[in-house]
Amino acid sequence: MSVPSRVLFRERQLLRASDLLTEQQYLLGLAGRHHVAPHTWGIVRGLSISLQNDVATVQPGLAIDGYGRELAVFQPARLTFSPQHSAQYVYLYYCERPRGACGPAPNPRFRDSAEMQVTATAWPIPSNDPDLTAATAAGGVVGAVPWPVLLGIIKARKNNIFHVHYSHCIYTRLRASLICSPAGGTVVHVGAENLADPYDLRISLRAAGRNLQRRFAIDRDGNAIFWGNLILTSAQRGLVLSTQIESVFLKAQVKPGVGGAVRVQSSFTRGARSTLTLRFRVKTSAQGAVADDVLQIESSFTAKQLKEAIKNFNRKSSSVNLKELVDLNPPKRIVAPRSRMAGPPPAKASVPIFDDRDVPIDFAGADLSFVPEDVAAALPCDCLTPVDNPELLPEGFIFLPGTAAPAPPSRDIYSLHLEPQDQLPSDEVRISGGAKKDGDFSRRICVSGQDQNGFIPLLAFRGNGSLALPGDLSSGGAQSHLLCVVGGAAQLPIVKPDPRDQLFNSLLILAFTHGVLSLSSSVLKLSIPSLPFVESAQDWTYNLTLQNLSTTDALKAKSSSEILWTDKLASPGSLQNIPPSIAPNTSTTVAVQHAAADLPDRASQLVIEVVVAMILGTAPTAGRVVTPPNSITVHTSPSADFLNLTDPVATNTQFAISVVNGSDLDFTVTAASLTLPAGPAQDLLGAHPPVAVASGQSQPLPVKGRVTVGPAPHVQFTLKITYHWTSGGAPNNNRTLSFSKTVTVN
């Protein structure tokens, strides 16, 4: 396309069709370049899809294609799709149709049309970067291919129910490096301003002095940086509700778009079939109370009936969504229980008390989590593979020191740089709970846990400056519990017996704490006497020794957990055969058995971590053991090579089978047999000596296998080998493995 030009008009000028066409092309080019230069192509608004039976209805809306042409849909459009396809694409594209009278005269008009089509195949996009020289707001582009705009993908769910996916749709965006509010109070910088600018995104606000001050930024490494106070508030209103069914709770979340205060009223009716009634209502200043959403739960409900009742309630409710929560107090560090070792069953929770008070459903505290990032690892060939990408956990919050504390004192977390006299400068991270007040015993700062009863303060700092450990002083929190568990060694400095020393009081507290830690962590001792030999395709076992160091009281089992740390992922679980009690000053050993499936594929290293909690008298105690890093190698089991067994294969064909050693140890095959659906097993060693297979090598079995069955589809050939390891200090007991391949016999 040539450089755009426009017509210079003057009085009494004779205008030809080419002059008017040039002017029209100039104006269309201006609008088209505006559509795809500062903006991007895609859906502007509307164009949503609703389904009913085999009809898809596209709602009115507007889109821009990659040439800058407007695709306007003014009326709902009905399209028919086929239920036979699992995925169908709905596309919108530009079409120019001539309009005019009949006869030899040419058509005096063009109508810009947006056409739609449903197809079972995805259409290609001509380019990721539209050509500005070909941009036009309307009309055909010479030599250009169609540029479709995807409106949605119709996919089938279970029971042949269709829904629309919009995740692959492209929506229009704005290209800009600086975005300012109309009053200039907020400025957003997109991209680095120069080579020295470390931030790819920066948000600045105008302070009271009319100077722009940075408030939020993302640097080139992807770190989020905040200046000033950071307040986290939950985006949803929610509440956890008790039920009369043991260990079952309901989490209520207010639906999006619900305005006004949402309250819940619970009432409990006792009898042969006790019933819990939950009434949710929305109160607004304009309308008052609207119709209640009611859920009734009977004590005789089975798990299936409860799920069905919650499902029906969520479908009809206009105020909240309910989700079932089971056992809010699981064993620590356990994600999914495995059938190995477990302690005695936990004590039953007390029956909750229900009343008819209205409880508001308010915004809860925000959940803060750090998601590991995938970091590409460079290989010797300078290429990248997504399989071997390690996961990098973000460092979390980093508080850079400021020059002064916030004023007036408030409840903040901040860092402060201090330069006291006669001492080295230091940076302190401070957590403020407000001004100190004598006689104020209220909790200001809490480190807490949670169970079925809700929030449990475990460590609390009070308004008068005192420390409560544990911070829960309620009747339920006054019971004895495990205070501290030390995994490493606690070393004490020399305490000078001089009360005038400014460190004297601190050292006394440290000595007291050391005594508590020593007492709580030395009663139960765990050990793994010998490390197990682990093979990728075989079950394995190790012995766990539990020793009671108390000379007077027996230990009673409470709970246990186990984590298998590998170079691929961590597999948490529980233990099954922990003894119910251990007599004073005695030890017991239990065997912990694992299946090969307990380890992830291609794991090469293993670390075993076991934590067991027990009761000494009335006080809890715990023990922990972790195997040293890189001390347990996961050896790769032998595999079979059936490459010479083709698919299909003719009857009476002979083929060779090889045994492959992918481990760093040697092994010897002492027996090998091939089994088919019919006929006797074939001995693939015969009178030959055992086959030794070195590390990283492959050895064929001395006797070839034979196809002894007639023509048939899906014939399974099963190879069973007996072998033992011969190097690296591995156990020399015989082990067996089976491999199979299914082919068609002609």
Q: Do 629 and 658 belong to one domain?
A: no
Query: H-helix or E-strand containing 25?
Result: helix 17-36
State the Cα–Cα distance between residues 198 and 218, nearest whole angstrom: 9
Q: Are 562 and 341 in contact (CB under 8 A)?
A: yes
Instruction: Answer yes or no: is 250 within a domain.
Output: yes
Q: Do 605 and 741 belong to one domain?
A: no
- For the record, the structure tokens of 480 come out as 């004895």
- For the record, the structure tokens of 406 come out as 């916030």
Instruction: Answer yes or no: is 449 within a domain.
Output: no
Q: Do 683 and 615 belong to one domain?
A: no
State the Cα–Cα distance between residues 164 and 90, nearest whole angstrom: 10
State the Cα–Cα distance between residues 322 and 413, nearest whole angstrom: 35
Domain that holds residue 64: 17-165
pTM for the predicted model, two decimal places = 0.39
Q: What is the DSSP string of 347-411?
A: PPPPPPP----EEE--BPPPP---PPEE-PPPPTTS---GGGPPEE---------BSS--SS--S
Instruction: Answer yes or no: is 478 within a domain.
Output: no
> Which pLDDT value is given to residue 520?
46
Q: Do 676 and 563 belong to one domain?
A: no
What are residue 525's phi and psi, to 5 degrees?
A: -115, 125
> Which pLDDT value is given to residue 373?
57
Q: Do 24 and 152 belong to one domain?
A: yes
Q: Do 622 and 666 belong to one domain?
A: no
Residues 571, 574, 576, 579, CA torsion sign? positive
Contacts of 318 (CB under 8 A, 6+ apart): 255, 258, 282, 290, 291, 293
3-state helix, strand, coil in the chain (%, to 5): 10, 40, 50
Instruction: Answer yes or no: is 150 within a domain.
Output: yes
Domain boundary among 343, 360, 377: 360
Instruction: Answer yes or no: is 11 within a domain.
Output: no
The total domain count for the chain is 4
Weakly modelled stretches of the chain, pLDDT under 50? 328-353, 377-380, 382-387, 475-479, 517-520
> Which pLDDT value is given to residue 284?
64
Q: What is the DSSP string of 171-216?
A: B--B--SEEE-TTSSEEEEES-SSTT--EEEEEEEE-TTS-EEEEE
Closest CA to 720 of 666, 663, 676: 676
Contacts of 699 (CB under 8 A, 6+ apart): 658, 659, 661, 669, 691, 692, 693
> Which pLDDT value is given to residue 387?
47
Q: Do 628 and 687 belong to one domain?
A: no
Q: Do 626 and 640 belong to one domain?
A: no
> Which pLDDT value is given to residue 675?
93
> Which pLDDT value is given to residue 32?
84
Q: Are 415 and 429 in contact (CB under 8 A)?
A: yes
